[in-house]
Amino acid sequence: MTLAKASLTLAEFLERPETEPASEYIDGEILQKPVPKGKHSHLKLSLSLAINQVVGNAKLAYALPELRCSFGDRSIVPDIAVFEWARIPFDADGEVPDDFLLPPDWIIEILSPDQSANRVTQKILYSLQHGTKLGWMVDPHDRSTLVFVPNQLPTFFEGSDRLPVLDPIPLELTCEQLFGWLKMNPAG
Amino acid sequence: MTLAKASLTLAEFLERPETEPASEYIDGEILQKPVPKGKHSHLKLSLSLAINQVVGNAKLAYALPELRCSFGDRSIVPDIAVFEWARIPFDADGEVPDDFLLPPDWIIEILSPDQSANRVTQKILYSLQHGTKLGWMVDPHDRSTLVFVPNQLPTFFEGSDRLPVLDPIPLELTCEQLFGWLKMNPAG
């Protein structure tokens, strides 16, 4: 995660071209996300697909990986941002907008080995303080997930624990099942 | 962190000889703590000394590094366990007991690069659910601290933020000052 002290405002930051990996604007600083590794990318994709599959055509919610969400005085790019359908700010043509100027309803972060857990947790905490209802901190190496909801201590999940999901989404998933997706070649 | 499935009870675990590094008994499993590295060891010592120095002879509280605390159905060894003086279970001779069968009032964990933050957080959460009043998750590499109190979301501290300490302890410490202790040779 590179770090540069910004002398620009959130609005000025948002006018800058996107970087790859994405950069975030937090506490007046620009921080670039680490280059995602295999486990991280694979879980991000599998989990986004799983959420969108169970939702199907029911228009309950939608999961968007690596979506920029700007709110408060920050601009963050959660690994996965899940929005209740009614909160997606579709534009006049009914299309997904370019800019999401609101926090996700459910923020999912997947810890990379080169990331500071405290700093990633801070993104989840900030979101929860701004209206996010549910946060997951997924550690693929530990096979565990910390679950955050507003105004409470987080809860630790592992093994056969069933993970709490955003309310309208009919997803039943245990930690074991989540990390089972990492095994792409079970016969190998 | 090595991991072995235990088929023994907490009482049986406590009868086994201590290991080096210490082993913990969590959810019926025995987990050995990682071998501490330089930053970790140095912060642990500096912070323990700082707490015990400001307390002085006032018998307000006492910080004990690597103390085994057994409570609920677990036996953990926090990096630093701080007890209010009145809660230290002195034995009949007024000496510090061998066994602390209670949670610390303040638990401090210092994250090592080879530890899972989720799993270390779980130790803090379990303690808070059993009577601990304050928890710190210190990340020396990120220069940040997550602070936990019961029934609330944790709070992120960095830079000039003043860290909350256990109530009777007159310690004034910012994150900067805490991590400043890592610089042992400022002229070097």
Three-class secondary structure assignment of B104-134: CCEEEEECCCCCCHHHHHHHHHHHHHCCCCE
* A185 in any annotated domain: no
The C-alpha of A57 sits at a distance from chain B's nearest C-alpha, in angstroms, of 35
Compute the distance between CA of residue A103 and CA of residue A84 in angstroms, rounded to an integer.
11
Give how many domains chain B has, as a whole number: 1
Looking at chain A, the number of H-run helices and the number of E-run strands are: 4, 11
Q: Which of B128, B148, B153 sits opposite A128 (nearest CB)?
A: B153
pTM (predicted TM-score): 0.92
Find all residues with CB under 8 Å of A75, minimum gap 6, and list them: A10, A13, A14, A24, A25, A68, A69
Q: What is the pLDDT of residue B1?
A: 47
188 residues of chain B, pLDDT tens digit each: 445 565 899 999 999 999 999 999 998 999 999 998 888 999 999 999 999 999 988 889 999 999 999 999 999 999 999 999 999 999 988 898 888 999 999 999 999 988 999 999 999 999 999 999 999 999 999 999 999 999 999 999 999 999 999 998 999 999 999 999 998 776 64
- Which chain B residues contact residue A122 at CB under 8 A? 144, 156
ipTM associated with this complex: 0.89
Residue A21 domain flag:
no
Give the nearest partner residue to B152 out of A116, A142, A151, using CB atoms. Answer: A151
Under an 8 A CB cutoff, do B153 and A117 touch?
no
Q: Domain span at residue A96?
A: 36-180
User: Are β-strands B69-71 and B3-5 bridged in parallel, bridged antiparallel, or unpaired?
Assistant: unpaired
Nearest to B144 among A116, A144, A146 (CB): A116
Is B84 inside a domain boundary?
yes
| A10 lies in some domain | no
Residue B152 lies in a domain: yes
Under the banding of pLDDT at 50, 70 and 90, the label for residue A57 is: confident
Q: How far apart are CA B146 and CA B87, in angstroms?
A: 25
Q: Are B146 and B162 in contact (CB under 8 A)?
A: no
Cα–Cα separations (whole angstroms), residue B12 to B3, B6, B18, B28, B33: 17, 10, 12, 11, 19
The CATH number that applies at residue B45 is: 3.90.1570.10
Q: What pLDDT digit, counting tens, does each position of A122-162 carry?
A: 999 999 999 999 999 999 999 999 999 999 999 999 999 99
Place of tokens 């009949």: B92
Residue A114: CA atoms inside 13 Å, Cβ hemisphere, count?
10
- Note whether B116 and A113 are within 8 A (CB): no
B9 found inside a domain? no
Question: Is A26 a domain residue?
Answer: no
The strand order across the sheet containing A29-32 reads: A3-5, A29-32, A23-26, A74-76, A69-71
For A13, A31, B4, B123, B129, the CA distances from B77, given in Å and listed in that order, are 45, 35, 17, 9, 16
pLDDT value, residue B6: 55
Give the tokens for residue B161. Answer: 């933020």
What's the pLDDT band for A168 if we cut at 50, 70, 90? Answer: confident
The partner residue sitting opposite A148, judged by closest CB among B117, B142, B153, is: B153
- Residue B27 CB: number of other CB atoms within 10 A? 13
Q: Decide if A15 is inside a domain.
A: no
Under an 8 Å CB criterion, which residues of A touch B? Answer: 111, 116-119, 121-122, 125, 128-129, 137, 139, 141-142, 144-146, 148, 150-156
CB pairs under 8 A between A and B: 80
